[in-house]
Amino acid sequence: MLAPADPILIDAVAPRSGERILDIGCGTGAVSELLALEGAAVTGIDLSETMIAGAQFRARENLSFQVADAAQFLGDAPFAAVASRFGVMFFDDPHAAFANIRANLVPDGRLVFLCWQAPDRNPWAMVPAKAVVPLLAEPMPTDPDAPGPFALADSDRIMTILDAAGFRDAVIEGHDVPIVLSRDGLDDATDFACQIGPGSRALTELDETGRAKARIAIREALSGHVGPTGSLTMAGAVWLVTARA
């Protein structure tokens, strides 16, 4: 799903052989591995024990993983760069978290991350979410700054947070990326949308009957996006954010 965004991040990080890089919200380690293949010594961290367990098969001499909270993590030595692919939008206190991230960098160290632009620029997430709305007893939460996929959609907010954390030379670039919900047809894409994204969180508020209705609604909403080969790809828009410690 997220692989089309990887080259954008890796090119911006520009990993150098031997330098230490921290990958925040590494998940099962796909981006960490790409950075390590360039010769960097990479540490991947994630809050999820399950994700880190899944990442361990990628571990090698210059690539390690550990369960850790980026808002509190402090490496045993500073890193030349901190990277993240969609892993920095979920902090309860982003000001404190980014200050801690900066504390993990060498002077003039590089911060590079990807985050989602506004929901209306990301149909892959909002088409399923809107399909579920009529079934909810109460409207979905609308606080744009609440921890979640779109917490850093406001570029001005990003700049404010980075400035308060002591970063400098921040640059924000917009990129459009195709988001592959499934290569195996509509039913598979529907299953995925019921597990990932704003629509999936709405499903947790419904009983069994409501979830069954929601799945039908999501499937119908996605049906118009199936390609000729059965794959389902939708538009996505991301911010590439770079800054210096």
**What is the predicted pLDDT for the residue at 188?**
92
Whether residue 200 has pLDDT greater than 80: no
Q: Are 15 and 39 in contact (CB under 8 A)?
A: yes
pLDDT of 6: 96
The closest alpha carbon to 45, from 108, 3, 101, 94, belongs to 101
Per the model's pLDDT, the better-predicted residue between 26 and 148 turns out to be 26
The model's pTM:
0.92
| Distant-in-sequence, close-in-space partners of 113: CB < 8 Å, separation ≥ 6 | 9, 24, 82, 83, 84, 85, 87, 88, 240, 241
Distances (CA, A) of 204 to 191, 210, 212: 14, 10, 12
Q: Strand 232-244 vs strand 20-24: parallel, antiparallel, or unpaired?
A: unpaired
The yes-or-no verdict on residue 211 having pLDDT over 70 is: yes
* Residues 27-52: tens digit of each pLDDT: 999 999 999 999 999 999 999 999 99
Q: Would you call 87 exposed, middle or buried from its count of C-beta atoms within 10 A (0-12, 13-18, 19+)? A: buried
Return mean pLDDT, the chain.
93
Q: Which of 71, 200, 94 is nearest to 145 (CA)?
A: 94
The distance between the two most distant Cα atoms of the chain, rounded to a whole number of Å, is: 55
Q: Which range is least confidently modeled, 63-67, 207-211, 215-219?
A: 207-211
Q: For position 159, what pLDDT does the model report?
A: 98
Q: What local confidence, expressed as pLDDT, does residue 1 receive?
A: 83
pLDDT in tens, 154-167: 999 999 999 999 99
Find the mean pLDDT for residues 132-154: 83
Q: Is the pLDDT of residue 228 over 90?
A: no
Q: What are phi and psi of 60, to 5 degrees?
A: -155, -170
Is residue 140 very low, low, confident or very high in pLDDT (cuts 50, 70, 90)? Answer: low
Q: Binning pLDDT at 50, 70 and 90, where does residue 137 land?
A: confident
- In whole angstroms, give the CA distance from residue 214 to residue 194: 9
CATH of the domain at 233: 3.40.50.150
* Total domains in the fold of the chain: 1
Q: What is the per-residue pLDDT for 45?
A: 98
* CA 68/CA 48 separation, integer angstroms: 8
Q: Among 82-86, 140-144, 184-188, 233-237, whose mean pLDDT is lowest?
A: 140-144
State residue 139's pLDDT score: 66
The predicted structure's pLDDT at residue 146:
87
Domain range for residue 118? 3-244
